Amino acid sequence: MSNYKRVKYNKCPLVEVTYQLNYPVILSIEANEPVDFQEEIRLKYPVYDQQNEDIFTVENAKANADLNQRQVRKLHHFISGDQQWRVTLAKDMLAFTTVKYDTWEELSARSIEVIESFVKEYKPAYFTRIGLRYVDAIERPVLGLQDSSWNELLQPHLCGCLGYKTKGFAQVRNSNVNAVVSFGDVFVNIASGLGTVDHHDGKAPSEAFILNCDYYISQRISIDDLKTMSTKLHDRSHVFFRESITDKLHYAMEPREINE
């Protein structure tokens, strides 16, 4: 797909990664507690939490005004002992979220174990959407780039008003880019712009460029094709991220080549 070599960054800006599968509604997940599914994965995900999520769609848009009209989805969370990994099960969704992402291979291996347990218990006919979402928070001081402008670090398609050049004084206070880009059957939903990161160290939140990219394939996907399609998402995410940053930012994050 690309001449870009896969790398790991010593100063990686990733704050969260989510791998999500959607499937036709399975009513038994909503109607019954997922006891057997929990037993299958409980050794790695011993902490359980459950919450209800309001679903707002065009069909139930009046839910804001009429609580009797709202739709609610029950979410079952299974969390690792170190709180770094979370499996979320719903009637139409299975998701894996981590704040300790190392490699795609690790995420893929951990998810396959859970997917096998899910398929064994609930027997989904097929999947309707798979998604891989990366959230990066790029902080210039952390990378020794506090004297660099954002348009020296980011490619024009992400910069928006951050690329504004003028002979007079101007300071961009806020700039956001929202877009959907398609690469054949792979789409990426991009939400990016200036934000802040709170390190909970007693200091004020620091400025960061937040890059939230959701790569997805939305079509009927068989269980047998799941691994191939998921790998395609990862490959596209690697290329798009590298095509969205400059060499200056790339090397400041201290890349190390991954031997495949």
Distances (CA, A) of 147 to 71, 143, 151, 244: 49, 11, 12, 20
Say yes or no to pLDDT of 193 above 50: yes
Mean pLDDT, residues 50-74 taken together: 66
- Average pLDDT over the chain, rounded to an integer: 90
Say yes or no to pLDDT of 57 above 70: no
Can you give the pLDDT at residue 169?
A: 60
Asked if residues 113 and 41 have their Cβ atoms less than 8 Å apart, the reply is yes
Token representation of residue 157: 């398609």
Can you give the pLDDT at residue 1?
A: 47
Say yes or no to pLDDT of 39 above 80: yes
- In DSSP terms, 211 is beta-bridged to 136, 192
**Torsional class of 184: left (φ above 0), alpha (ψ -120 to 50), beta (otherwise):** left
For 41-46, the CB contacts below 8 A with 24+ separation are 41/78, 41/87, 41/113, 41/114, 41/117, 42/78, 44/80, 44/85, 44/110, 44/113, 45/78, 45/79, 45/80, 45/85, 45/86, 45/87, 46/79, 46/80, 46/81
Say yes or no to pLDDT of 182 above 90: yes
Can you give the pLDDT at residue 65?
A: 53
pLDDT-above-90 percentage for the chain: 75
Can you give the pLDDT at residue 200?
A: 82
Say yes or no to pLDDT of 56 above 80: no
Say yes or no to pLDDT of 28 above 60: yes
Mean pLDDT, residues 120-128 taken together: 97
Nearest to 108 by CA among 10, 235, 14, 243: 235
Mean pLDDT, residues 50-76 taken together: 68
Say yes or no to pLDDT of 16 above 60: yes
The number of helix segments (H) and strand segments (E) in the chain equals: 6, 11
